[in-house]
Structure 1
Amino acid sequence: MKVLELLEEIEEIVDTSSGFPLTGKILVDAEEILEIVKEIRIELPDEIQQAQWIKDERQRILDEAKGEAETILKDAKMQAESLIENDDITSKAKVRADEIMSVASANAINLKMSTFDYIDSILYNFQDKMEQMNAIYFTDMFNNLQNTFDQINGTISSNRNEIKDMIYRTQMESEES
């Protein structure tokens, strides 16, 4: 999957970047990282197309189930009509037709439920994979970036405090002179 390869490339850039001594900070090429992020955005529509295929497949299965149910109902009606020819058989035919209709309805419902379960399991697996990708790659990446910015801000703040302290000492020394 191209998206995973691009994310690995970002990890490699971070791992091989030169660092600032004693800070745990690294220097990366922003343009290179942004180019990789753009490629990731380009690749994501493939994942969305896969979800669309699953949706279309679900609709196809539902349409197929509906067609089967209609065929079963049509067959049941035809059998019932042929039994109506004799008065003696008419009452038995009605009972049998009702049974066939009941079975057909139950089969149609079972088929629909099975189809819904199948589609739900496909969607659940896809959703789980997307959540895994998010948890593994994007959350870690953004947390690492946030930590890096927090550490840089902390270092800058510490340096500013040192400079302010030096200014204060210099002023105190100049006033004493």
Structure 2
Amino acid sequence: MKVLELLEEIEEIVDTASGFPLTGKIMVDAQELLEIVREIRHELPEEIQQAQWIKNERERIIAEAKNEYEAVIADAKRQAEALVENDDITVKAKLRADELMRVTEETAKQLKMSTYDYVDSILFNFQEKMEQLNALYFGDMFGTIEKTFNDINSTLSNNREEIKEMAYRTQMNEDDTMQEAEPRQEERDGE
């Protein structure tokens, strides 16, 4: 990673710089430091592109999961309609359709939850890496770069919160669906 190498170069310049007696201050070549800072600014967009790729990948995975979920549900409905020929077959078809719907929804929920966990772990690892870089290499001297890291960290936190919220809503929708399905099953048992 080019940015880390440049930061190590700054650290080496500071470590080897001549000091002013009794002040704790050092003398460094401003041009040399400014050139390194320019290179860091040049390299940072690549890191930001990686964060954008992670966000886009998360959205793609969620869209695929939703499409698969809808396709399975549509298939289950088609199978249930094809089985409706007489009363005995109708009852069995309804039971089978309900079971397929339950299994399908559970599978879709598990897929969604796995996707959320996967995206959250990627975002968490990237967030940790950004915090480590921030803690190790940036101080008061690089306020602008620190702001960039804080913005990225905030975006990652927001993305993680969105994932957790989506997972929570999925769980709540599943619980509501299960509660609605229980009275329908009792009605069928009464028939």
Q: TM (normalized to structure 1)?
A: 0.74
- 1:22-171 to structure 2, matched below 5 A, reads 22-139=22-139
Matched, 1:11 2:11: yes
For 1:22 and 1:95, locate their aligned partners in 2 and report how far apart those are by CA, in whole Å: 86
**Deviation digits for residues 36-57 of structure 1 (CA, Å, limit 9, x no counterpart):** 1111111111111111111111
For 2:136 and 2:16, locate their aligned partners in 1 and report how far apart those are by CA, in whole Å: 20
Unaligned runs of 5+ in 2: 143-191
**Deviation digits for residues 106-161 of structure 1 (CA, Å, limit 9, x no counterpart):** 1111111110111001000000000000001113866xxxxxxxxxxxxxxxxxxx
Could you tell which deviates more after superposition, 16-25 or 97-106?
Answer: 16-25
- Secondary structure of the equivalent of 1:85? coil
For 1:96 and 1:53, locate their aligned partners in 2 and report how far apart those are by CA, in whole Å: 41
Q: Post-superposition, which runs of at least 4 consecutive aligned residues in structure 1 deviate over 6 A? A: none
For 1:141 and 1:15, locate their aligned partners in 2 and report how far apart those are by CA, in whole Å: 15
For 1:87 and 1:113, locate their aligned partners in 2 and report how far apart those are by CA, in whole Å: 38
Identity between Structure 1 and Structure 2 (%)? 74
Q: Which amino acid aligns with 1:4?
A: L
- Secondary structure of the equivalent of 1:15? helix
How far is the alpha carbon of 1:101 from its aligned partner? 0.9
How far is the alpha carbon of 1:22 from its aligned partner? 4.2
Unaligned runs of 5+ in 1: 143-177
Is the radius of gyration larger for structure 1 or structure 2? 1
**Deviation digits for residues 8-31 of structure 1 (CA, Å, limit 9, x no counterpart):** 111111122222344443211112
For 1:25 and 1:74, locate their aligned partners in 2 and report how far apart those are by CA, in whole Å: 71
Aligned to 2:166: none
